[in-house]
């Protein structure tokens, strides 16, 4: 599935040969209502950050998996630019482009046979700010992933599973996090065909399943609370489905009984009954520490006490980085400070508090809301957060979870900015 804009966010990368960047590439969809023969292309000029444009005859074109110069396109037979396929444009540029955001402007020239010669070539201009992620070597301090929650509202409307996985792989991430009831068709019994497609996509894009989001809806029945037995059935069911899909972590979203997210008292019995299943399946159950619950809280103390009492290695803590938010999220239309939860202004947990639970942190959901064109997060202080994680020896996944404006396709560019920011900060630690 293609993004609506002519210039696509996914696919903007440096071209590297023998360890050296020799240029950059990006994807463009055809600026027409139909596909056409590639010999009708009269070139594309490209300008980055207001610099002198690269002449239209210089970039090469990749269509159908084969790369052509402009002259080769003119001489080609049977090569087409289909409506549903983005062309890959490669621009020579010794040293490539620096990681970060860039303003990319293009001028595409096409020969339209049904338009009078005096109005030819047809010229289509477009510009877009794109984020170039740093090249990754795989030997960094942290591992990087993305939660499909980042693409809520896009998923199933303008993004299908394969397009979402492709966008994750394109930023150099290796992990994918899902929500069971949000991303598994036919939940809790997906078809064998869908499971095959899931694993095929994971393999095709070089990804691994990381964390599976589950729910224990303790208010399932009106007028009464859920029993431990009922809760254990739900969690056990999701543990088994997560294992079928290759996940190593399961985050149970347990019903709460207070505004500071104290979980329903059945949580302990539910989890304890499922520990043997988790052990058999090789899964770690990890409830999230989520605003407005800070690290210094009895919820966290109770989780740690449970680990110490049972001695289990299959229960740990998932840190949602929203707890470190120290600046308010902008008000939405019709919203006032008084009409929305106070924690949206940020609870500003001190990242140094991670040291209190260092040995129990098994996964980090890297929640964020908005990153600007200068790669500055407007709400979360990432440098002290990453430094604190490094200080406690955490080397697991940072799984981007975008929770900002849900305009179509915006999440793709925001995730790209997030990964560029995190990797830059990691390199500076």
Query: Among all residues, which ones are annotated catalytic?
Result: 290
Cβ proximity of 302 and 260 under 8 Å:
no
**CA 11 to chain CA centroid, nearest Å:** 15
HEC readout, the chain: CCCCCCEEEEEEEEEEECCEEEEEEEEECCCCCCCEEHHHEEEEEEEECCCCCECCCCCEEEECCEEECHHHHHCCCCCEECCCCCEEEEEECCCCCCCEEEEEEEEEEECCCCCCHHHCCEEEEEEEEEEECCCCCCCCCCEEEEEHHHHCCCECCCECHHHHHHHHHHCCCCEEEEEHHHHCCCCCCCCHHHHHHHHHHHHHCCCEEEEEEEEECCCCCCCCCCCHHHHHHHHHHHHHHHHHCCCCEEEEEECECCCCCCECCCHHHHHHHHHHHHHHHCCEECCEECCCCCCCCHHHHHHHHHHHHHCCCCECEEEEHHHHCCCCCCCCCCCCCCCCCHHHHCCCCCHHHHHHHHHHEEEEEEEECCECCCCCECCCCHHHHHHHHHHCCCCCEEEEEECCCCCCCHHHHHHHHHHHHHHHHHHHC
CA atoms within 13 A of residue 303's CA, in its CB half-sphere: 27
Q: 130 to each of 26, 46, 230, 316, how far by Cα in Å?
A: 10, 14, 48, 37
Q: Which tokens in the block code for residue 389?
A: 């994680």
14 and 67 Cβ atoms separated by less than 8 Å? no
Using only the alpha carbons of the chain, give its radius of gyration.
24
What are the phi and psi torsion angles at 316 (to 5°)?
-150, -170
């Amino acid at each position: 599935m293609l993004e609506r804009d002519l210039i696509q966010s996914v696919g903007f990368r440096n071209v590297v040969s023998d360890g050296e960047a020799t240029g950059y590439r990006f994807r463009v969809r055809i600026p027409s209502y139909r596909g056409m023969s590639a010999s009708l292309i009269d070139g594309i000029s490209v300008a980055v950050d207001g610099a002198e444009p690269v002449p239209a005859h210089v970039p090469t074109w990749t269509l159908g998996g084969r790369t052509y110069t402009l002259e080769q396109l003119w001489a080609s037979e049977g090569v087409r630019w289909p409506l549903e396929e983005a062309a890959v444009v490669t621009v020579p540029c010794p040293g490539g482009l620096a990681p970060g955001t860039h303003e990319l402007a293009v001028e595409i020239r096409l020969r339209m046979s049904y338009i009078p010669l005096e109005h030819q070539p047809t010229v289509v201009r477009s510009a877009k700010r794109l984020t170039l992620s740093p090249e990754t070597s795989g030997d960094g301090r942290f591992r990087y992933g993305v939660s499909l929650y980042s693409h809520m509202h896009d998923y199933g409307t303008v993004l299908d599973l394969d397009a979402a996985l492709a966008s994750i792989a394109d930023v150099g991430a290796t992990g994918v996090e899902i929500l069971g009831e949000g991303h598994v068709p036919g939940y809790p019994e997906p078809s064998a065909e869908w499971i095959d497609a899931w694993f095929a996509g994971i393999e095709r894009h070089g990804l691994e399943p990381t964390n599976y989001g589950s729910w224990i809806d303790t208010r399932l029945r009106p007028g009464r609370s859920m029993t431990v037995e009922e809760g254990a059935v739900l969690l056990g069911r999701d543990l088994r489905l997560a294992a079928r899909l290759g996940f190593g972590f399961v985050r149970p979203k347990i019903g709460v009984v207070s505004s500071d997210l104290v979980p329903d008292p059945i949580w302990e019995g539910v989890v304890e009954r499922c520990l043997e299943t988790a052990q058999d399946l090789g899964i770690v159950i990890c409830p999230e520490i989520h605003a407005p619950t800070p690290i210094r809280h009895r919820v966290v103390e109770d989780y740690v006490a449970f680990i110490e009492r049972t001695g289990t290695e299959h229960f740990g803590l998932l840190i949602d980085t929203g707890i470190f938010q120290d600046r308010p999220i902008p008000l939405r239309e019709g919203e006032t400070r008084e009409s929305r939860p106070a924690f949206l202004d940020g609870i500003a947990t001190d990242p140094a508090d991670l040291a209190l639970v260092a040995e129990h942190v098994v996964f980090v959901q890297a929640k964020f809301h908005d990153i600007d064109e200068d790669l500055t997060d407007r709400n979360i202080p990432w440098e002290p957060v990453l430094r604190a994680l490094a200080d406690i020896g955490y080397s697991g996944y940072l799984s981007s979870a975008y929770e900002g404006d849900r305009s179509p396709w915006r999440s793709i560019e925001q995730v790209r900015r997030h990964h560029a920011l995190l990797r830059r900060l990691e390199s500076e630690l």
